[in-house]
């Protein structure tokens, strides 16, 4: 994973509410990448998993809010 590909997920994860363990992992990945210029396959896989989970949660929250908003606008 090159720096450009890594910055996308990291920038989103920095905006999301992360658990303490997720924060710790993201910081460790950043340090490792700065030191070695690459990630291990395991680090990349875990980072992708956290990223996908946060994207899924964001989409679900948006859809839920939209449905609630739409249902409150309909006449009874």
Name the residue ranges covered by the structural domains of the chain. Answer: 3-73
Q: What is the dihedral of CA 33, 34, 35, 40, to 10 degrees?
A: 0
What's the CA gap between 51 and 1, in Å, rounded? Answer: 15
DSSP H or E segment with residue 9: helix 3-15
pLDDT in tens, 29-41: 999 999 999 999 9
pLDDT value for 73: 62
pLDDT confidence band for 9 (50 / 70 / 90)? confident
**pTM of the complete model beyond 0.85:** no
Q: What is the pLDDT of residues 39-69, one digit of tens each?
A: 999 999 999 999 999 888 888 877 766 666 6
Q: In whole angstroms, give the CA distance from residue 47 to residue 2.
A: 14
């Amino acid at each position: 994973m090159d720096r450009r590909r890594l910055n996308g997920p990291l920038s989103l994860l920095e905006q999301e509410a992360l658990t303490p363990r997720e924060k710790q992992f993201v910081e460790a990945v950043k340090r490792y990448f700065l030191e070695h210029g690459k990630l291990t396959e395991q680090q990349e896989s875990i980072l992708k998993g956290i990223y996908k989970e946060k994207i899924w949660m964001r989409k679900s929250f948006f859809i839920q809010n939209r449905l609630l908003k739409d249902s409150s606008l309909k006449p009874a």
